Chains A and B, each alone.
Chain A
Amino acid sequence: AIQMTQSPSSLSASVGDRVTITCRASQDIRNDLGWYQKKPGKAPKLLIFAASSLQSGVPSRFSGSGSGTDFTLTISSLQPEDFATYYCLQDYNYPRTFGQGTKVEIK
């Protein structure tokens, strides 16, 4: 199975900060990667698909980049509602695999 390694596992940031989360795949997965936001007690929410395409309705402060093995999720200006845990998920093959998550906390 493809291993997805996310970093950092957690970070503290302030409202207005620029936040970057990375995800590394154990093999080339082209651009077959999505980013998801998860809040406690809520269903996961798709933010980015195909590595860099913004899901409809998601604020433009979220962006994704990368291809091959290295990917990045960027939040350009952190808002209060963005404090959550973020996961990458490879869509390249089965079994699908998630990164271990990055918890974004308030500084």
Chain B
Amino acid sequence: QVQLVESGGGVVQPGRSLRLSCVASGFTFRSYGMHWVRQAPGKGLEWVAVIWYDGSDKYYADSVKGRFTISRDNSKNTLSLQMNSLRAEDTAVYYCARGNTAMLNALDYWGQGTLVTVSS
């Protein structure tokens, strides 16, 4: 069965960096685009970033552009999100999700999320 397991969350001071990972299993990881989506406490869902199945293209939300970098290692079935210059408003649960081209790139599987808290 498809599984996505995020890790790397924690408490970090403003201005510092953190790297999130998402390990995929149960499907051919290298064939799917992958996304990060976040939800701040008490707020709605916010799309963060996407990376093409082969890593050839990436897009970001304006709120994280220039600070966050999405990447993947298809040999290790792993998706990553490098988060630099973190701000209090980046505090959120971060989810990785699979984009399914057969469903017009809808996000059909999600991990359980990892909490990032940016606080001094």
Decide whether A and B assemble into one complex. yes
- Least Cβ distance of A35 to chain B in Å? 9
Q: Encode A87-99 as 1/0 by CB contact (under 8 A) with B.
A: 1010100111111
- Contact between A43 and B104 (Cβ–Cβ < 8 Å)? no
- Contact between B60 and A95 (Cβ–Cβ < 8 Å)? yes
Name the contact of A1 in the complex, choosing from B35, B37, B62, B105 (C-beta under 8 A).
B62
- Contact between B59 and A46 (Cβ–Cβ < 8 Å)? no
- Contact between A89 and B47 (Cβ–Cβ < 8 Å)? yes
- Contact between A43 and B108 (Cβ–Cβ < 8 Å)? no
- Least Cβ distance of A40 to chain B in Å? 10
Query: Which of A89, A91, A94 has most chain B Cβ within 10 Å?
Result: A94
Given contacts A1-B62, A94-B50, contact A38 B108 (CB under 8 A): no
- Contact between A46 and B47 (Cβ–Cβ < 8 Å)? no
- Give residues 45-91 of B contacting A (CB, 8 Å): 45-47, 50, 59-62
**How far apart are the CA atoms of A101 and B59 in the complex, in Å?**
23
Q: Kindly state whether residue B112 has any CB partner on chain A within 8 Å.
A: yes
Name the contact of B103 in the complex, choosing from A1, A45, A53 (C-beta under 8 A).
A53
**How far apart are the CA atoms of A79 and B37 in the complex, in Å?**
27
Return chain B residues, CB-CB under 8 Å to A95: 47, 59-62
Residues of A whose CB lies within 8 Å of any CB of B are 1, 31-32, 34, 36, 38, 42-46, 49-50, 53, 55, 85, 87, 89, 91, 94-101
Residues of B whose CB lies within 8 Å of any CB of A are 35, 37, 39, 44-47, 50, 59-62, 95, 97, 100, 103-108, 110-113
A-B contact pairs, 5 of them (CB 8 A): A43-B113, A46-B106, A53-B103, A98-B46, A100-B44
